[in-house]
Amino acid sequence: MNQICYLDNAATTKSAPQVVERMMKSFQEDYFNPSAMYKPGLTEEKVIQGCKAHLMAAIHGKGDAERQIIYTSGGSEGDNLLIRGILDRKRPALLESGTIVTTAIEHPAVREVFLDYEKRGVKVIWLPVDEEGFVDPKDLAQAVDAHTLLVSIMGVNNELGTFQPLETFGKIIKDQNPNCFFHSDFVQGFMKCPIDVEKAKLDGVTLCGHKINGPKGIGAVYLREGWPIKPLIFGGGQEHGLRSGTENVQGIVGFDEAVKFWESPEVIERLCQYRSYVADTLTEALEHVKILGPEDEERRSPAVMSAAIDGVRGEVLLHACEAQGVYISTGSACSTHKKEKHQVQKAIGLSPSYTEGTIRISFSALTTFDEVKRGVDVIVGEAQKLRKFAKFIK
C-alpha cells in the first residue's frame, strides 16, 4: 500500500493534532450542558463566548460577538439559515415583486436554495463570470435595485480559487439599496484570504471548521445585528432562538483551535509556494494544460487550484492517481451526486475537451512539500500514460 498523499483539502481536511488534543480534553472535562444553571454549565457558556469573540476578530467584525456569531453544523446549514432565514420572513407580496441575486459559480448549498426559490416563482438573477471566475461589478450594479431583497456571492470559489472583491461589491449593493441583505459563502476563503465584514458591508457570512483542519460537524455564521431571520431549527432557544439544540462544545473548541492554527503567516506563505510549484510543474511537463482561475496571486486563494489537461479524462486520471496513493478530485465534492457536472467550467467558457480533463488540487496547513512534489510527479506520470493509451486506441 502506497503512503497516502492527500491533495483534496478543499473537500475536507485532516484535523490538526492540537485540534484533536483540545477536543479530547474537552470531551473528558467539559461535558456539561452550557444551558445548565450550575457553575460548570456557566463555565462552558463562557468558553463558547470566548470562541465567538475569537471568530469575530478573525473576520474583523464589530459589536456583540455573542449575538452575531451563531454556531451551526457546517457550511450547508449556514447558507440555508441565512438565505432562507431572511427570505422566509418576507411577506409573499414582497417575494413576488422582489428579486434575489447570485452567481453562476456558487456552491450547491447556495445554488440549490436559489433554484428552489426560483421554482416557487421568485425572480432570480444569475450573474455571469469571466474566464477567471470574476463577477463584473457593472453586472452587479445593473442587477441590484430597490426591489432586490438579497445578494449572495461566494467569497472564494471552491474550484478556481477566485477571490471576489467583496468590498467593491458591498459598496455597490448598499449604495443602490441599503435594505438589501448581502451574504457571502466564505467557507473556502476563511483563514486563507482576508475578510473584513465591516469594510465589505456584509450582513451575513458562512464559515466552516473542517476546511481549516478543524472537525466536521461544526460551522458558524456571522449575522449583522439588526437583521431578524427565521430559524431553521426550533426548540430550546439556544443561540438567542436562532439555532436551537444543545451546543456542540467539543466542535466549537476544535473550530477555535483550528483558527489559531491557521493564524500563523507561515501557513499562507507555504501554500502560495505549493500552488506555484504545482502550476509551474504541470505546465512545463505537460503540453496543452490550462491552470484555471486568476493569474494575479492577490486575487486568488493559495489553497485550491484547478488544472485542465486536454486529451485526458479527469475522472480516469483521478483513479489512476488513487492507485498510486495520491488523492485529488475533479471538482466540488458536494456536486458529485448531482446530474449536472462541470458547472464552473461551463460558466468560465472552458472548451469541452479541457472541461473533461479538469482536476482540482488543494492544500491545507498540514500539507508538506514532499506530499506536493510526490503528488504532482504522479499526476504528470499518469497523465502521460493516459495520453499515450488514448493515442494507441485511436
Residue 277 makes CB contacts below 8 A (sequence gap 6+) with 369, 372, 373, 376
Q: What does DSSP say about strands 219-223 and 69-72: parallel, antiparallel, or unpaired?
A: antiparallel
Q: How many whole angstroms separate alpha carbon 89 and alpha carbon 101? A: 17
Q: How many whole angstroms separate alpha carbon 78 and alpha carbon 311? A: 39
Instruction: Provide the 3-class DSSP secondary structure of residue 282.
Output: helix
Dig out the grid coordinates for 294 from the structure.
486568476
Output b/e per residue, 5-37; b: 16+ Cβ within 10 A: bbbbbbbbbbbbeebeebbeebeeebebebeee
Q: How many whole angstroms separate alpha carbon 47 and alpha carbon 45? A: 5
334 is catalytic: yes
Q: Checking phi first, is residue 193 left (phi over 0); if not, alpha (psi -120 to 50) or beta?
A: beta
Determine phi and psi for 360, rounding to 5 degrees. Answer: -115, 135
Output b/e per residue, 345-358; b: 16+ Cβ within 10 A: bebbebeeebbbbb
CB-based burial label for 54 (10 Å; 0-12, 13-18, 19+): middle
CB-based burial label for 382 (10 Å; 0-12, 13-18, 19+): buried
Which helix (H) or strand (E) segment is 55 a member of?
helix 39-58
Residue with cell 477555535: 256
Q: DSSP letter for 153, please.
A: -
Active-site residues, by number, are: 334
